[in-house]
Amino acid sequence: MLIKNQTFNLVLFSLCLITTIYLVYPFVTILIFIDSPSFVNSIGRPAVINAFLLSASTATISTLLLAVFGIPLGYFLARFHDLQGISILRLIVFLPLVLPPLASGALLLGAYGPLSPIMKMLPIPDVTQSISGIVIAQAYVASPFMILASEMAFKSYDESFERVSRVLGKTRLQTFTQVSIPLAKNGIIIGSIISWVRAVGELGATMMLAYNPHTISIQIFEDNAIGGLSRAIPDIFFSIVLSITALIAFCFYSIRSRNGSYLKVN
Amino acid sequence: MNGLELVNLNKVFPGFTLGPLNLRVKHEVRVILGPTGSGKTTILNIISGLSKPDSGSIILDGVNITNQPLERRKIGYIFQKPFLFPHLGVYDNVIFGHREHESAGESEIRELLKDLGIWHLCDRRIQGLSGGEMQKISLARMLITKPKIMLMDEPLSNLDDQFKKKLRSDLRRVLKERNIPTIYVTHFKQDVYALADTISILYKGRVVYDDTLEAALKIQQPFTFPFRSDIFIAEGNYIEGVVTYCKKGITRFKYYTQILEILGEYHVGSRVGILIRPEDIILSRQILKTSARNLLHVKIVHIEKPIESTGTVNVYMMLEQRLHLVAKITDEARLELGIKDGDEIFVIFKASAPQVVREGYSV
C-alpha cells in the first residue's frame, strides 16, 4: 500500500513539475532574445507606448461597459433561474467563449461594419478601424466572464437578504444597489479583472473589426511579423506588466473573497 | 378594524392548497402552530408580500394591501435566521430601514437598543456576534420602522436553549409594550406558553383551531379536541398568575384565590406562567403535612383507562371550575386511593417542580 502511494506521489509530482516547467519555460527563453541596448531604445517607441496605453484604456472602457450591461444580466440569470428559456439565455452568454475569436470578429464585422443593416440605418460613424471597434470587439469576447462571474456572485449569498431589505421598505432598485451589489462585490470584482485581462489580450476579434489603431496584442503580432521576436519583446514586456498587475489584483480579491466567509455569519 | 384581517385567502400549489383562510389579528401575539408543510410560512410570505395569493384579501388597519408592493406595507418580518447585512456594522444594520418622519427617532432607537440590551454592540461588526445578539439586532431593525404588524417565523429555532428563554421574555415584553399585533409561527411548545395570547392551529392549509391560550389550555382532555396537537398533551399543566411575594429565592404568585410557591425570583406585580409535568403531581385523599409547598383542592372530572405498557393512568381534575389539571399516577396507586370521577382530592407538588415558561410582562 505504501509502495503504491509512493508511486502515485512520484507520478503526480513528475506531472506537476512538467506542467509547471511548460508554463514557465517561455518566460525564461524570451530572455535569450533580449538585446539590451535595442530593448532600451525600442521600449520607448511611440507605437509601443501608444499600443500599451490603448490596450489599457480600451480594456478599461469595455470592462466598465460590461459592468453596466453585464452585471444586470448576471443578476437576472441568478434570480430568474426557474424561468422558462433561461438555459437558452445562458447558452447565448457562453457563445463568445466557445467561438474562435476570429469568427467572433467576422460576426462583429458583419454586425457593425459599414455593410451591416443597422449601420446603414443609423447615423453612426463607422466603427471599423476605430477605438469604438476595439471596445466592441473586446467587450464581446470578454462578456461571458463578467456575466457568469456576476451570476455566481449573486448566487453566493442567501436571497433572503434581499427579501429582508424589501420588507424594510427598500425598493427593488435600492435593494439591488444597497444589498445585492455589496454582497456580490468580491465576485463582481474578480469577474471584472478576468474580463479586463481577456480584453487586454484580445487579438482575433479586434483584428477583424479594428486592426488600427494597434492594441498591444496587434502590435506584438505586427512587430513579430516585421522584425521577428526581438522586435516584439518590448510589446511582450508591456503585456506581461499588464497581465501581472491584473493577476496580483485577482489574487488579492480571490483571497479576500475566500476569507470573506462573512456571508455565512447569519 | 385595527390590526390584520385575512379574508378568504387562497393559494394553490402543486399538491397543496392554502385556505380559504379567514383570520383576524388584533393587538395580540397570535401563535400559529402546525406540522411541517401545513402552510405556516406561506401565510407569512403572503401577508408580507413576498408571495401573492391566488384570491382573497389582506386588510391591514382597514386598508386593503393585497396588491401593494411589499416595501410599502409597513410590515415587520423576522425570519428563522437574522439575515443581518454582513457588509454593514451593527448600528447601520439597525437603521437600514429607517425613514425620516415615519420611523423611530434617534432617542427612541437608543432606548430600544438599551431595552434589548444591545446598545453596547452599536460600534461592532456583525462578525463574531452570538446568535441571540444577532436575532435581537434583527428585531430592533424591524421595530424601528414602526411596523403595523410583526410577522415572526420561528425566530428562536436556531438559538441555544439558554438564549431562547431570555429572548422569549424580552420578545413578549417588547411587543406588548409597543402594542404591535404579532403573528408568531412555531412548533415549539415553550414558545406558545411564553408568548401567545391567542393560538391558531393550521392543518393542511386550513385553520382548524383558533382561540385564546387560556381556552386552548382547557382542552387538556384530548377527547374534546378533534384536531389535538401534541402541544396540549403530555407536556403538563400550565398555570399563570401575578407575583405577590418574592424573597430569598422564593416567589409566590396568585392564581384566582390560590397562592402557589415556586423557586426563583420574579418581580412582584409581574406575571409568571409555570408548567408542571403530570408525573410531578402527587394526589392525596387528605391534607398531608409534607415538605411540598403547594397544595390544591381539586375535583376529578375524568380518569382515563390505564396505559398497559406503562401501567399508568391520567387523572383529569378541575380547580375552582376554571383550571384543568392532569396527573399521571400508577394504576396501582389509583386503586389504592380508590378515586373515581367526581371525587374531591388534593393535588400536591414541590416548589421546585414547576418550570417557569412565561415571565416578566406586567399587566
Q: Identify the H or E element spanning B44.
A: helix B40-48
pTM of the entire predicted model: 0.78
Average pLDDT in chain A: 88
- Strand B237-247 relative to strand B63-64, pairing: unpaired
pLDDT at A261: 46
Listed in sequence order, the DSSP H helices in A114-210 are 117-121, 131-155, 160-167, 172-175, 181-201, 204-209
Query: How far apart, in whole angstroms, are the C-alpha atoms of residue B321 and residue B218?
Result: 11
Nearest residue to A69 via CA among A162, A152, A136 = A136
Tell me whether residues A164 and B50 touch, CB distance under 8 A.
no
Query: How far apart, in whole angstroms, are the C-alpha atoms of residue A139 and residue A199?
Result: 7
Chain B closest-CA separation from residue A22 CA (Å): 42
Tell me the per-residue pLDDT of A211-239, one tens digit each, with 9 for 90 and over. 889 999 999 999 889 888 878 888 888 88
Tell me the per-residue pLDDT of B37-70, one tens digit each, with 9 for 90 and over. 888 999 999 999 999 999 999 999 999 999 999 9
In chain B, which residues have their Cβ closer than 8 Å to the Cβ of A263? 86
Tell me whether residues A262 and B83 touch, CB distance under 8 A.
no
Tell me the per-residue pLDDT of A176-208, one tens digit each, with 9 for 90 and over. 999 999 999 989 999 999 999 999 989 999 999
User: Are the C-beta atoms of residues B44 and B26 closer than 8 Å to each other?
Assistant: no
Nearest residue to A220 via CA among A36, A31, A45 = A45
A161, A169, A263 member nearest B71 (Cβ): A169
ipTM of predicted complex: 0.77
Tell me the per-residue pLDDT of A42-101, one tens digit each, with 9 for 90 and over. 777 888 889 989 999 999 999 999 999 999 999 999 999 888 889 999 999 999 999 999
> In Å, how far from its chain's centre is CA A109?
21
For an interface test with A, the pick among B70, B78, B153 (most A C-beta atoms closer than 10 Å) comes out as B70
Chain B closest-CA separation from residue A161 CA (Å): 6
Look up residue A62 and give its amino acid.
S
Residue B278 contacts A where some CB pair is shorter than 8 Å: no
Look up residue B36 and give its amino acid.
T
Kindly give, in sequence order, each residue whose CB lies less than 8 Å from that of residue B266, ignoring residues fewer than 6 positions away. Answer: B243, B246, B251, B253, B272, B356, B359, B360
Tell me the per-residue pLDDT of B266-290, one tens digit each, with 9 for 90 and over. 889 888 888 888 889 999 998 888 9
Tell me the per-residue pLDDT of B300-329, one tens digit each, with 9 for 90 and over. 998 988 888 888 998 989 887 777 888 999
Q: Name every residue in A having a CB less than 8 A away from some CB of B.
A: 158, 160-161, 163-171, 178-179, 182-183, 185, 262-263, 265-266
pLDDT at B361: 58
Tell me the per-residue pLDDT of B101-155, one tens digit each, with 9 for 90 and over. 777 778 888 888 998 889 999 899 999 898 889 999 999 999 999 999 999 999 9
pLDDT band at B363; cut points 50, 70, 90? very low
What percent of chain B stands above pLDDT 90? 45
pLDDT at B91 over 90: yes
Mean pLDDT of the B209-238 span = 61
In chain B, which residues have their Cβ closer than 8 Å to the Cβ of A167? 48-50, 70-71, 75-77, 97, 142
For A206-266, give the DSSP string: HHHH--SS--HHHHHHHHHHHHHHHHHHHHHHHHHHHHHHHHHHHHHHHHHHHH-GGGG--
Kindly give, in sequence order, each residue whose CB lies less than 8 Å from that of residue A1, ignoring residues fewer than 6 positions away. Answer: none
Mean pLDDT of the A155-164 span = 94
pLDDT at B222 over 60: no
At residue B305, φ and ψ (nearest 5 deg) are -70, 145
Helix (H, G, I), strand (E, B) or coil at A167: helix
User: Are the C-beta atoms of residues B273 and B358 closer than 8 Å to each other?
Assistant: yes
Helix (H, G, I), strand (E, B) or coil at B179: coil
The least confident of A11-25, A239-253, B220-234 is B220-234
User: Are the C-beta atoms of residues B118 and B135 closer than 8 Å to each other?
Assistant: no
In chain A, which residues have their Cβ closer than 8 Å to the Cβ of B48? 167
Tell me whether residues B97 and A160 touch, CB distance under 8 A.
no
- Other C-beta atoms lying within 10 Å of the C-beta of residue A256: 13
In chain B, which residues have their Cβ closer than 8 Å to the Cβ of A187? none
Kindly give, in sequence order, each residue whose CB lies less than 8 Å from that of residue A7, ignoring residues fewer than 6 positions away. Answer: none
The least confident of A130-134, B127-131, B185-189, B240-244 is B185-189
What percent of the residues of chain B are helix, what percent strand, and what percent coil, each to the nearest 5?
Answer: 25, 35, 40
